[in-house]
Chains A and B, each alone.
Chain A
């Protein structure tokens, strides 16, 4: 096994362990004890938080910003695909034939989406004011991995660069805002509990 593949495996283990620590801490801190009387259905509200409430039609952050929202959706789909491909690569599995071409094309689109979000963050004065170095580093790492994943499928010789980039991403993920990988789900869950308890969600 090449040193860079081994490095990426070690990075993956560190990343998963760190994320596990975050998850464990979330569970250990637990819920806020609620003393008021529940009037709604929290289970239905949590389901709604992950489904209907996520609909672009329900969110101004989506329907008022369709280009950014669409780029964000593609960007995240690209990230999930890259994680899947990375795992497959470790097992020596690669897409072939037309599937490979489609994946490369898709990842180029998602990588460009990431790049456009980065450019927006740099160009927009208000977003710049909201950003810190972590915002830029996170975007650059994820975008780079998406483009390098497309690259390695096209030209295998860049494997060392690809695996080092993936390793850096995995090592950085639990440190900055990329840990929303985990906290996103917790946020939707808590929002569902909050609104469900009071009967706000799901809408009557």
Chain B
């Protein structure tokens, strides 16, 4: 770990100086340490320990604010629990803000006051990122995205080759040589993005979406230059790097003159580009941004695709990605889609806006040093799934797919994990052309 100089500390404190606004000021001053948020946190539920209480995470950041920004904290630090931003504090921040929080936001709506705990955690991560204390494992994922254009470092030719065989596969499946996966075609209605996990590990979700686009007779394209929907800098807290990644997709939209950017099934990616992206680059987008979940629901509602739920007979349950549902307001659409696409749907408990995080968010999948904790909190989700008796777990997020797949193996759930589009593609009724 690097030496801690005054210059470095000042960079951390810059978040509380130059970037201060009414919202941050409010949430740094609102926690009353009642501790009632504890039971709403998956980390605390999995390992009841005072360190994992969400209020403790807020207090880490707020205590630094009190030490440097309040008169009481400057004169009587011990009275109000004001802390120096020193090595000990930083170590604790790294462990708790990166390693013990997925920023799922479940504690926020249950907080007795209304402290936006995940917002404060993000600000704490920003402080750490400014000082250069992002865990190396997480930073390497960001670095890959910055250097190669996608977080898995997939070479462009490898990506194109994958898409070409997927296109052949699609033509064979729909028995139509005109079915294509268009690449870099300008002036289309939709520029579709991908989570790089798709071309790397789950190519069938790409062909599933291509099949849906084919059935809906959509005007769409993929970009081979900038297709990555993810933005791990949202997790690391490095705003400059987050802006670079968001700007690239923004610029690709303009270059290809697409009307709508459709975000693939990725919870944090959707949030990072749709909601945080304009703030990262400090401007509105001159195009529409929607998630593929909204698009699928729209296709079904407008009759652009026809589904036969009898094609999906197994019992299906749904895991809501936190960033899509709780922080994005999209939780009805996926239920509408599933009710149209499967014949037996069952909810988990709790679900929707109150759903438990699977443990894969917050950059946890990238930070292998916290694997043990991640699997521990995932056990709660595994039990939720087991209780439904479902054979298939649908989730519109590839990070969640990854985490749920690991839970499936570790806790011997014996289920299949699928994205929504895979389920929709399975239920598609194709017209004879």
Contact = CB atoms under 8 A, between A and B. Distances in A.
B22 A30 contact: yes
Interface of A: 22, 25-27, 29-37, 39-40, 49, 53, 58-62, 64-65, 68-69, 72, 124-127, 129-135, 137, 175-177, 179-180, 183-184, 186-191, 194-195, 198-200, 203-204
B79 A126 contact: no
A15 to B, nearest CB: 14
A203 B353 contact: yes
Contacts of B35: 124, 126-127, 130
B80 interface: yes
B30 A184 contact: yes
Contact of A72 (B33, B81, B112): B112
Given A130-B55, A134-B80, A68 B326 contact: no
A61 B37 contact: yes
Interface string B46-76: 0010110101100100000000000110000
Contacts of B79: 132-134, 137, 176
Contact of A135 (B27, B33, B71): B33
B219 interface: no
B291 to A, nearest CB: 11
Given A27-B22, A29-B21, 4 more contacts: A32-B22, A35-B281, A49-B114, A58-B109
B4 interface: no
Contact of B329 (A25, A39, A184): A39
A62 B112 contact: yes
B409 interface: no
A200 B353 contact: yes
B81 to A, nearest CB: 3
Contact of B109 (A35, A53, A177, A180): A53
Contacts of B112: 59, 61-62, 69, 72
Given A60-B39, A60-B110, A31 B327 contact: no
A199 B119 CA distance: 18
B424 interface: no
Contact of A183 (B21, B29, B38, B327): B29
Contacts of B27: 187, 190
B114 to A, nearest CB: 4
B30 A186 contact: yes
Interface residues of B, number: 60
B22 A198 contact: no
A194 to B, nearest CB: 6
A35 B278 CA distance: 5
A66 to B, nearest CB: 11
Contacts of B56: 129-130
Contacts of A29: 20-22, 25
B22 A186 contact: yes
B277 A32 contact: no
Nearest to A191: B114
A191 to B, nearest CB: 5
A39 B274 CA distance: 11
Given A72-B112, A180-B29, A37 B36 contact: no
7 contacts: A53-B109, A60-B40, A61-B39, A129-B56, A130-B35, A132-B33, A180-B29
A200 B327 contact: yes
Contacts of B59: 130
A31 B21 contact: yes
B282 interface: yes
Contact of A36 (B22, B51, B277): B277
B111 interface: yes
Contacts of B285: 37
Contacts of B21: 29-32
9 smallest CB-CB distances across A and B, nearest first, come from A132-B81, A35-B278, A61-B36, A199-B329, A129-B50, A126-B50, A186-B26, A187-B114, A200-B329
Interface in B392-431: none
Interface string B106-123: 001111111110010000
Contact of A191 (B25, B116, B275, B328): B116
A126 B38 contact: yes
B283 A176 contact: no
Contact of B33 (A49, A62, A125, A130): A130
B284 interface: yes
A135 B408 CA distance: 44
Interface in B255-283: 274-279, 281-283
B1 interface: no
B363 to A, nearest CB: 21
Among A25, A195, A203, chain B packs the most CB atoms within 10 A around the CB of A195
B111 A125 contact: no
A57 B32 CA distance: 21
Contact of A190 (B26, B111, B284): B26
Nearest to B19: A32
A124 to B, nearest CB: 8
B277 to A, nearest CB: 7
A31 B56 CA distance: 26
A187 B113 contact: yes
A134 B70 CA distance: 14
B26 A35 contact: no
B274 A36 contact: yes
B25 A198 contact: no
Nearest to A132: B81
Contacts of A25: 25
Contacts of B32: 135, 177, 180
Contacts of A58: 109
A62 B110 CA distance: 8
B326 A37 contact: no
Interface in B83-139: 108-116, 119
A202 to B, nearest CB: 11
